[in-house]
Structure 1
Amino acid sequence: MIEIEESSGSVYADIGRSDAKEMLVKAQLATKIGGIIKARHLTQIQAAEILAMPQPKVSEMLRGKFRGISEAKMIDCLSRLGRDVQIVVKTAPRSRREGRVEVVFA
């Protein structure tokens, strides 16, 4: 019999990573960056020039290997790709003990 476990919504949390929140945010940012690059029909070399990153680093990021890339750099990449980025800090509802970090694309 196959046992099925419901996901928490984060594969990183599901596999027990201590940096699950950070990795999920980076994955969402990298996905958006990749989508913009694809929609603009940019090669990785062209994207690397725009993003001010070496092409191998762009390739790694687009394949989900973003350990050496900070969230700040990814936000800078979105800006370089013509996106406005807003960071909104608000009080968490009383029903939650802790705040959360989420990425919302408009």
Structure 2
Amino acid sequence: MSIKFYESPFHAIEEPEVASKSVLKADLTIMIRDIIENRGWTQKEAAERLAVTQPRVSDIVNGKIDKFTLDMLFSMLDKLG
């Protein structure tokens, strides 16, 4: 049996189109999380600036990408400048 390599873990379990969107959502979530951390904001401060609730920021920080659409993540990045 040979070893099969995938572009990402998502590509191992999902159809290519779904996997690609999941990879993009994961990348955007990481970018948002990094911006929040680099600015030294608490989750509450980030929530106020993003016009979302603190639990939504917690979802981002904890990588729960399935709870967000690409549109929502791009909107958050836009608000962060």
Q: What does 1:1-106 align with in structure 2 at a 5 Å threshold?
A: 5=3, 7-14=5-12, 16-18=13-15, 19-82=18-81
The alignment of Structure 1 onto Structure 2 pairs a total of residues equal to: 79
The secondary structure found in structure 2 opposite 1:33 is: helix
Q: List gaps (5 residues or longer) in structure 1.
A: 83-106
Counterpart-to-counterpart distance in 2, 1:31 and 1:4:
33
The secondary structure found in structure 1 opposite 2:65 is: coil
CA deviations 1:58-100 (Å, max 9, x no partner) are 1112211122211111111111111xxxxxxxxxxxxxxxxxx
Change (3 A) 1:20 1:38: same
Letter in 2 for 1:9: E
Q: List gaps (5 residues or longer) in structure 2.
A: none
Change (3 A) 1:7 1:59: farther
Report the identity percentage: 32
TM-score for the superposition, normalised by structure 1: 0.66
CA deviations 1:15-46 (Å, max 9, x no partner) are x1232111110000000001110110000000
Counterpart-to-counterpart distance in 1, 2:2 and 2:55:
37
The secondary structure found in structure 2 opposite 1:67 is: helix
* Higher Cα radius of gyration: 1
